[in-house]
Amino acid sequence: MPSYARPHTLDQALDLLAQGGHRILAGGTDLYPAAEAQLAGNIIDITALPGLDAITAEGGGFRIGACATWTTLADVPLPPAAYALQQAARQVGGRQIQNVGTIGGNLCNASPAADGVPPLLVMGAEVTLASAGGLRRVALNDFLIGPRQTARRADEVLIWVHIPESGLAGRSAFVKLGARAYLVISIAMVAARVVMADDKIASVAIAVGACSGAALRLDGIERGLIGASASDISDLVTSQRLAALAPIDDIRATAAYRLDAAAELICRAVAEAMQ
């Protein structure tokens, strides 16, 4: 008989996880679509764990609880470097999904098209995984291994997403491309965070989603854009510099189109972040 638990302390949750054989349920917006009448297996519902739905200051940066919903992320005041995250939050599914879907679930589900990932990557986000053995902190790009694959062990639960102070410089923007206006699963998406000095790019972080197994930071383009002004951008974003991406042909678009689109979206996201 499958079990269901909705613990009210982290220790209870970790004890259950340590027993093995459990699935973690957060917002449910990925688990339920794949389910029959009920969820299969033993379920630990983490939405009653205290404090996990909040966003709090931490050092010079901030910390997002794993169960913070998209609506929460969109509505709370965040610094301009997190605008991309807020723009992404307003474009995940419809408002019904935004009201229950969580940032932690989005990361652990590890879809190549996860909307939350590029905005977090450009802020250098890290995640904290908790288990009965303790806490460990992992950089987000190390946490995401590939499509539907993460570094989370079966006895661990993702509890926090950390945005370091260094990730909060400048301003960010998010651009998502799909074939319809709402409920878009993206063909490609880009987040860019730009720090300006004297009308030129002092530093920039760029991440592209839906064009590789997991969203990627594009170091080559980032380096190439330092010192650039607005009019230089499109010449500096070349498809050679997108070589790290490995898009696929699927029902939404061709791989070749995705590369072209990614280049254009990078230009637009950077331009928007520069304003």
State in Å, rounded, how far the first CA of the chain is from the last one: 57
79-98 mask for another protein (x: CB under 8 A)?
-----------x--xxxxx-
Residue 45 near another protein by CB under 8 A: yes
Cβ-based nearer residue to another protein, 76 or 195: 76
Q: 68, 244, 94: which is closest to 163 by C-alpha? A: 68
Beta bridge partners of 205: 193
Identify the three-state secondary structure at position 79.
coil
Q: Which is nearer to another protein, 94 or 227 (CB)?
A: 94
Nearer to another protein (CB atom), residue 36 or residue 198? 36
53: contact with another protein by CB under 8 A: no
Write down the least CB distance from residue 212 to another protein, Å: 18
- String of contacts with another protein for each residue 240-259, x by CB under 8 A: -----------xxxx-xx--
Q: Does 73 help bind another protein (rule: CB under 8 A)? A: no
Residue with tokens 């209870």: 12
Site stretch for another protein (CB under 8 A), options 26-34, 81-89, 128-136, 144-152? 26-34
Q: Which is nearer to another protein, 14 or 263 (CB)?
A: 263
Task: Give the nearest distance from C-beta 147 to another protein in angstroms.
Answer: 16
Tell which residue, 146, 185, 150, has the closest CA to residue 66. Answer: 150
Give yes or no for a contact between 153 and 219, defined as CB atoms under 8 angstroms apart: no
Continuous H helices in the chain? 10-19, 70-75, 83-89, 95-100, 103-109, 117-121, 140-143, 219-225, 233-236, 255-274
By C-beta, is 6 or 200 nearer to another protein? Answer: 6
Cα(151)–Cα(119) distance, integer angstroms: 20
Q: Which of 9, 19, 38, 229 binds another protein (CB under 8 A)?
A: 38
For residue 191 the two structure tokens come to 């987040």
Chain positions 200 to 239 lying near another protein, rule: CB under 8 A, are none
CB-CB contact of 128 with 134 (8 Å): no
Q: Which residue do the tokens 């409920």 mark?
A: 183
Interface ranges with another protein (CB under 8 A): 2, 4, 6, 25, 27-29, 32-33, 37-39, 43, 45, 47, 71, 90, 93-97, 99-100, 177, 179-183, 185, 187, 251-254, 256-257, 260-261, 264-265
